[in-house]
Amino acid sequence: MFESIERVPGDAILGLIQQFKDDPNPNKVDLGVGVYRDEHGNTPILRAVKDAEKKLIDTEQTKAYIGSHGDPQYGEYILQTVLGADSKVLAANRASATQSPGGTGALRLAADFLVSQLPGKAIWLPNPTWPNHLGVFEAARLEIKRYPYVDDNDQFDFDAMLKKLKSIPKGDIVLLHACCHNPTGFDPSQDQWHQILEVVQDRELLPLVDFAYQGFGDGLDEDAYGVRLLADHLDEMVITQSCSKNFGIYRERTGCFIAIAKDEEDMQDVRSQLATTARENYSNPPAHGSAIVATIMGSAELTAAWHRELDEMRDRINDVRQKLVEGLKPHGLADKFAFITDQRGMFSYTGLTEDQVNKLRDEYSIYMVASGRANVAGLNDDNIEYVCKAIADVVGSGK
């Protein structure tokens, strides 16, 4: 029976991992895979996470299921982190947290929930967006449509974005990146978030806000500005959240799906449906990652340590952005790539063409996604000069 099954190409980004591993060049640089790297090129386990795990080893007493909604304490901490401890939504019991297997699991939970409970609604994604958004929503049989996000020069085009949002049919779903837009690194300003809110209200749209990088842009509270603005002024919205990046627990698959309803009664109805959706999808989420997060956030000492480490990661990313532009200055390219310092988070839409990306890979063993998206966290003091020289070669010196 299996002889009729066709082979399909593997995931392009995951395929870069194997190409990079197989490359014998000692100067190779990985700017493709979307994980944080420190100045030594490692993806470290945070000290706060290590301390929390040691505490869990001594105190954990069961490996029983944690239920379809996951660890309730974890859910409470995530709600406060995303919406703010003084949120009016939380005070009115209008928000529900359902733990999920990573941010991707939260997106699939959202997709299945929306298909079953709001049939016939299309979801509008920015162009470009994280490629797996397409895979997740297509698999759930959601109708996908697009709105523009960057222009032909790979720069943020807010006017085009807003114009398209104003034409979306009333009642449709619109996916918004909360911060550190993947793959471009371009985020709306606070003023632009207010304009987005006005359009969402006027068109009666349902926002699905993907919040995968809280704390990696300007800070935990600063990065939540758009999310909290929408939550404070809308009756309904949904949010998908991930702890992979800001806690560095990628492989623990720890995320959350947050639903906000008009009132507590509606929220309980939604919550009941979410339990069923989760049960039919993966039954129960994994417990270890949520236990790590809850342990950290339940301790003032560990929370303070986590905040310091998160600040260190964010500051390093922003510092590397500055160094990249500075490193291009001797090649006459600082002005051409100055926008990189305006972007936020790990990713940068560099503006490099696919041919230029291929040349970087083939001639310099510098790996990034074909679209020109680079993970700037892969840069450090040991390789940044090499990368700048390579970029100057493939682009052409600006001198």
DSSP assignment of 67-82 equals: -TT--HHHHHHHHHHH
Q: CB within 8 A of 172, min separation 6: which ones?
A: 121, 122, 123, 124, 145, 203, 205, 206
From 28, 71, 112, 245, the catalytic residue: 245
Q: What is the rounded distance in angstroms from the CA atom of residue 137 to the CA atom of residue 369?
A: 22
Phi, psi of 182 (to 5 degrees): -105, 115
- Annotated active-site residue 145? The verdict is no
Q: Do domains 10-45+302-394 and 65-298 have the same CATH topology?
A: no
Q: What is the rounded distance in angstroms from the CA atom of residue 179 to the CA atom of residue 332?
A: 30
Q: What is the rounded distance in angstroms from the CA atom of residue 249 to the CA atom of residue 268?
A: 30
CB 282 within 8 A of CB 257: no
* pLDDT (average), residues 313-329: 97
| Torsional class of 70: left (φ above 0), alpha (ψ -120 to 50), beta (otherwise) | left
Q: What does the pLDDT look like over 90-102, one tens digit per residue?
A: 999 999 999 999 9
Confidence tier at 398 by pLDDT (50, 70, 90): low
Q: What is the pLDDT of residue 397?
A: 63
Q: CB within 8 A of 11, min separation 6: which ones?
A: none
Q: What is the rounded distance in angstroms from the CA atom of residue 36 to the CA atom of residue 28?
A: 17
- Annotated active-site residue 210? The verdict is yes
Torsion sign, CA atoms 120, 124, 128, 131: negative
From 51, 210, 223, 306, the catalytic residue: 210
In the block, tokens 């609604």 appear at: 121
Instruction: Give 70-76's long-range contacts (Cβ < 8 A, gap of 24+).
Output: 70/97, 70/98, 70/99, 70/100, 70/256, 70/284, 70/285, 70/287, 70/290, 71/99, 71/287, 71/290, 71/291, 71/294, 73/294, 73/298, 74/99, 74/256, 74/290, 74/291, 74/293, 74/294, 75/99, 75/256
Domain boundaries defined on the chain: 10-45+302-394, 65-298
Give me the residues paired with residue 375 across strands.
347
Give the percent of the chain with pLDDT over 70.
99
Q: What is the rounded distance in angstroms from the CA atom of residue 14 to the CA atom of residue 293?
A: 27
For residue 127, count CB atoms less than 10 angstroms from its CB and return exposed for 0-12, middle for 13-18, buried for 19 or more: middle
pTM of the model: 0.95
319 token code pair: 């510092």
Q: CB within 8 A of 311, min separation 6: which ones?
A: 219
Q: For residue 341, give the nearest of 318, 372, 375 by alpha carbon.
A: 318
CB 337 within 8 A of CB 178: no
Using DSSP's 3-state secondary structure scheme, residue 287 falls into coil
Domain at 65-298, CATH from 1.10.3720.10, 3.40.640.10, 3.30.70.120, 3.20.20.10: 3.40.640.10
- Annotated active-site residue 245? The verdict is yes
From 30, 124, 130, 193, the catalytic residue: 130
| Torsional class of 180: left (φ above 0), alpha (ψ -120 to 50), beta (otherwise) | left
In the block, tokens 């079953």 appear at: 116
Q: What does the pLDDT look like over 153-181, one tens digit per residue?
A: 889 999 999 999 999 999 999 999 999 99
Q: What does the pLDDT look like over 252-289, one tens digit per residue?
A: 999 999 999 999 999 999 999 999 999 999 999 999 99
Q: What does the pLDDT look like over 184-212, one tens digit per residue?
A: 999 999 999 999 999 999 999 999 999 99
Domain at 10-45+302-394, CATH from 3.30.230.30, 3.40.50.720, 3.40.50.300, 3.90.1150.10: 3.90.1150.10
Confidence tier at 318 by pLDDT (50, 70, 90): very high
Confidence tier at 399 by pLDDT (50, 70, 90): low
